[in-house]
Structure 1
Amino acid sequence: MKLNVPTEGGSDTSDVENSCLVRLVDTSLKNFEKYKDSVIDLNKYADELLNNRLTHFGEYSLDCTKATFDAIGLEFRHTGPFPRATEERIACPMFSVNARGPVDYSVEDSVDAVSKPRLREFFPEVWLFDHIRLDQAGQYATQLTAPDSITSWEFTALCFTKDLGLWMPPRLEPEAITVSLPFFVEFTPPVKAKRQEVLHLPVSVFMLSANGGADKKACYEVLVSVSVDPKDWQLIGTSEFSTCLCQGDPKTTFTLTLKPQKLGRLNVTAEAVAKSESAMCSKGPVSSQQKASVTDAVRRSVLIVPEGVEAETNVGGVLCLSNGGMPLTEVMKLDLPDRIVEGSLRSYVSVSGNVLGKALKNLDNLVRLPTGCGEQNMVKVAPSVYVLKYLVAATDLHEAETKKLAQTAINYIGSGYTNQLNYRHDNGSFSTFGQSHGVGSTWLTAFVFGVFSEAERLLQAKALNKLQTANTDFYPTLLTAFEFLGAVQRRDGCFTEYGRVFQSGLHVADGSPKAKLLKDLLLTSYVLSALVDAPVALKESKSKPCLLDTMEAYNVTEIPLRALAKVAYALRRLPGLRELIEQREFVYRELANRASEKKSRSGALRWWNDENAAYPASEVETTAYAY
């Protein structure tokens, strides 16, 4: 493999750290829309090189032909009786008993040795992925040992040079490397199969043309045998096949039928032997001395998984240690299903010093780059704000992983704020598609106000002093949004939605008076929740008539669960409204009546199951508001 990087005349490349990223990847992976390159296992590669090293004759004495052939990987076969008497040992045509080199000695009517094939079992998806340095002439050349795959490898490179900057070679030499054998056996088992599932595995034998399409083609008797561990597999039918194959003929395929008996990765090994001058393939007389020719062997593995349907059972609890630090023993019993597939039972134990435990694992999946319209952008910004709030309050930002996540969240908050300004109206409101598409939305403006008010407070936290925070002034935007919300509050204290809302839970199925009251109640509760920590708060007393009138007109038992949870959340964040104490108790009592409970070792588990919810995730949201 050779790589040439052009340089401008007169440039001194010896003082420039010219380098390239080079890769050789299996082209067969392009048949899949989504594939992940796996880096080569260097340890296994080194082990294979050690296994295939040459045997040096001078290291020890070889006593006979059989020991000689075993040392170099050849299998010696003989037939009897012999035409003349011999000693009770295998004759040594290559070496004398005590000598270290070959001698002029032979045994009559012997057969040629059959080459014992090296087992092919190393099939990486990526042959090479390396960062290489160019020489003074801007070149790089190397020699590689091909893996066991019979395939083509595509060569790509990305270079960094002083003259060209970031540069990708337009043509590589070679663009692809094809690895093949004149005779080989191949089979591709499924990546995964279930135990007791019957697999019909095609095993193919290839004999490539060696003389460029000459009229006379050599023909061979091909014997194929497949070996498996009887404890792992049940063979159905035969595992040995034979055929006559000539050079340049199309591949011949046999079908092997197997049934896996165990779980895990199970091996299947196929070996093929091609013999020349066979009576099976020759039309004329056959030589009395049969000659064995070429062989090949390949081993692949199949991941065997349990049959049936996967089910999961969880049990958890909270362990409270005493001040004395005495050891604590807790026995937890799992309620297992009645019918468990043998060998499929697995258990995992997770212990966390955080009370929320695994519920907050993989927080990085919530931090996403904000994109899309006004509503979509805010839906992606808000989780970054709340994840950052949790990291500041409950984690150590000096840890590398946590620090990286916090920095990403900060960057995405700044990016999301910049994007959101594209959907801002002149009156301070926000809408899904911006100034040119209708009027501003009360709900979306409250959403923007609440999220970025929280972000402004977070970015001023001392815990974030060592992180890079954007020098963003949220105040002008928050002030104009606040003024807009004050303008859309009616005399009765309720807020009016003049804009169009796409992704909120404010949509009501009908236009009846009760539905309108419910919409007023939801919108007012949501806006008040967003404004509760406002720098210049709206007068809460102005909202009392709205909340009192709508709740009195609407029987609390008739309020949908999602709406009831959001109203309860707003009332909990507005403790200063004493006139709402009685209504607040009604709402809390109704929520408690609708809760689902289940006993556990750590106490009662409580959640709110909404039968009308379109998605299970909405039940998590409802439970969060209810708590």
Structure 2
Amino acid sequence: MFCTAEVGFGLSPTATFTAFKPFFVELALPYSVIRGEAFALKATVFNYLLQCIKVRVTLAESAQFQVQAGENGAYTSCLCADEGKTFQWEVTASSLGEVNFTVSTEALRTEELCGTELAVVPAQGRVDTVIKPLLVQPGGILEEKAHSSLLCQEASEEIYLQLPANVLTGSERAHVTVVGDIMGTSLQNIERLLAMPYGSGEENMVWFAHNIYTQQYLEKSEQLSPEIRDKAQGFLQSGYQRELLYKHNDGSYSASGKSDVTGNTWLTAFVLKSFGQARPYISIDEKHLEDALGWLQRHQQETGCFRSVGYLLNNALQGGVVDELSLSAYITAALLELGQPLTDPMMTRALQCLRKSSTSDLYMQALLAYAFGLAESTELRDALLQSLAQHSVSAGGQLYWQRKVKALPSPYGNHAPSVEMTAYVLLAYLSLPNVSAADMGTAVQIVRWLSKQHYPYGGFAYTQDMLVALQALAKYAALTHSASGAVSVTVSSQAGAWQQFHVENANRLVLQRAALQEIPGQYTVRASGKGCVFVQLTLRYNVPPPKSTVTFDLRLETEPKECTESTRSGFSLVLHARYSGERPASNMAIIEAKLPSGYTPVKRSLQQLEKQRLVKWLEVQNDQVTLYLDQLTKEEVSFTFSLEQDFPVKNLRAAPVRLYDYYKTGEHTEAEYSAPCGSAPDTNTMGNSQ
């Protein structure tokens, strides 16, 4: 409480009071169950009064679940002073999503005795009602498909949401999001872009670069708040200090630092480029740049090309850089981004190497076009872009390039393997000091296509896709950002349902969202006004675990295998995994192990698991344990942790486990396991008990 005076105001002394209910009810239920499973919903009532009361405890009816209980699902019982009793119902979940359970407890007026006492009715607080949600899941494996569109001015697009034949009934759901920024979905999940760097010399630099390009994009599009800037710069400072741990005495860098025989050419160039781009945000010791530059210079051959030395744990980080010419083009572009003068003998010889090259490979042409653009060698850049234009794929105002290699399947179904190459072409079109109107017109078509490659939560499929696409989109944002304009977006279905959104500068960065009810269904997305909007229709559904073992083998066992009295309360899960693909080993691998309903992991067993050689770290969520592994080889390894039952659940469904490559999510396999005792024990205690 405060009081005012003619000048200023004053605060009164703090007053405190204690409030309590005469009685209250608590609900206990698992975090989640799978549709069709049954569990015991427990309501415990506590009496804080000094006298006895008689209460009626009622579970409200709902079409979302079925109850097997006593008369009308209600119980009546006496509770005397400081006494608590538990009432329970056997509940079977029938609806998907968040299901609310409502339990009311009422003190009854009665002439009946509770033991030897007359039951009282409190003057206040005669009823206590508790509502608690439970997540009901369909089981199986979640799949997501995103249909993304960048719509500018007057534009429209037809999108069809289609389900596979093996979809689990009722698991389908869809929504549309609208935001006035091409990276809007990613920025809503910014923790996927801005994160603390960690891991080896390679992984650390990946996250370091993510933080740089994300900050560049936010800065150029006028979205960099002081809070995000401080967080990003803190991450950059930490990543910078960590990367120095992987520096060799000769100035090079490698995945494991000095324990490696030599530094790696590509990684050293990546570090040099990234440290240079971080200079506007954090303090970088120029000596580290000079040392790396000197090491690269010592590995430059008489031809001007660069020699490849050292190795990477994850070759996928290099993207399409696979030979001496592509490595030399990458390093040359990195040096030009760093600001090395064209008169520098190292740069002169590097460009000489590239000018003498001849290639029909589209990826190489894209990388060379970008390098020549940075070097302001306009004729060479234009010649390469003209050659690339002859091999472009154009459809619906979009432009992209496809590599002639077999693409890996994507779990989201919309990944294209040419994101990195197309992003390099975009950088080439934007590389000259003054971008022409013609180049900008082509760039818009490329950006439209890149926008369609976003995953449902933003970002792109593979690490190198993300790095190059982020860099290109940051450059595009710097050239095209405008705070003016307003766009109206209408999403309509053939059946007549429709949603409307309005985007202007005031809400340009607000992610607007609405559910879509018609699945499957055909939708028309139409934009009108001045400016651009990013629209994404996301379809989610569950399917049975596919029997795929193309690149990984995964076997699951429970210990013990058979149901005994002791295994009802807990058991151990053993994960047997190995890599079976074409390479000697995988990149960092992830195992996502769902838990059976009503079970939780035993902390002590997880602590032991974390000490295992290949386990980098693990995460524990409400219904899942996730293991991050250094890599998997052709030799099978096993990982074990224990589970204990905290809620009995009947008709237990199998729990899925997913194993995939962190950098190539298209390489994956799935399996499932069941608890040794598939059902909770029958009980005669449904009703009230002490």
| Alignment TM-score, normalising by the size of structure 2 | 0.44
Greater gyration radius: 1
| Alignment TM-score, normalising by the size of structure 1 | 0.48
* Greater share of strand: 2
